Structure 1
Amino acid sequence: MALKATIYKATVNVADMDRNVFIDNTLTLARHPSETEERLMLRLLAWLVHANERLTFTRGLSAEDEPEVWQLNDHGGIDVWIDLGLPDERRIKKACSRSQHVWLYTYNWRAAQPWWQQHQNKLAQHDNLTIRYLNDEQLSALTRLASRSMMLQATIQDGTIWLSDDNNHLEIQFEQWLEAGKRT
Structure 2
Amino acid sequence: MALKATIYKATVNVADMDKNVFLDSVLTLARHPSETEERLMLRLLAWLVNAHERLTFTRGLSAEDEPEIWLMNDHNGIEVWIELGLPDERRLKKACNRAARVYLYTYNARAAQIWWLQNQNKLQQANLTVRFLDDEQLKALTQLASRSMTLQATIQDGTIWLSDEQQHLELRFTDWLLDGKPA
CA deviation profile, 1:25-67 (whole Å, cap 9, x unmatched): 1000000000000000000000000001110000000000000
Partner of 1:30: 30
AA paired with 1:88?
D
Partner of 2:138: 139
| Displacement after TM superposition at 1:116 (Å) | 0.2
CA deviation profile, 1:113-158 (whole Å, cap 9, x unmatched): 000000000112x110000000000000000000000000000000
| Displacement after TM superposition at 1:183 (Å) | 5.2
Q: Does 1:108 align with 2:108?
A: yes
Partner of 1:164: 163
User: What SS class does the counterpart of residue 154 from structure 1 fall into?
Assistant: strand
More off after superposition, 174-183 vs 17-26: 174-183
Query: In the TM superposition, what are the counterparts of 1:93-104 in structure 2 within 5 Å?
Result: 93-104=93-104
Partner of 1:71: 71
User: What SS class does the counterpart of residue 137 from structure 1 fall into?
Assistant: helix
Structure 1 runs, 4 residues or longer, greater than 4 Å off = none
Partner of 2:7: 7
CA distance in 2, matches of 1:91, 1:25: 30
Partner of 1:42: 42
CA deviation profile, 1:54-89 (whole Å, cap 9, x unmatched): 100000000000000000000001000000000001
AA paired with 1:62?
S
AA paired with 2:128?
L
AA paired with 1:69?
I
Partner of 1:90: 90
AA paired with 1:12?
V
Contact 2:104 2:129 in 1 (8 A): yes
Query: In the TM superposition, what are the counterparts of 1:113-128 in structure 2 within 5 Å?
Result: 113-124=113-124, 126-128=125-127
| Displacement after TM superposition at 1:182 (Å) | 3.8
Partner of 2:17: 17
Contact 2:152 2:162 in 1 (8 A): yes
Partner of 2:177: 178
| Displacement after TM superposition at 1:105 (Å) | 0.2
Gaps of 5+ in 2: none
| Alignment RMSD | 0.9
CA distance in 1, matches of 2:165, 2:128: 35
CA distance in 2, matches of 1:7, 1:166: 21
User: What SS class does the counterpart of residue 76 from structure 2 fall into?
Assistant: coil
| Identity across matched positions, percent | 77
CA distance in 2, matches of 1:83, 1:183: 18
CA distance in 2, matches of 1:183, 1:148: 37
CA distance in 2, matches of 1:181, 1:54: 25
What is the TM-score normalised by the length of structure 2?
0.98
CA distance in 2, matches of 1:44, 1:103: 14
User: What SS class does the counterpart of residue 165 from structure 2 fall into?
Assistant: coil
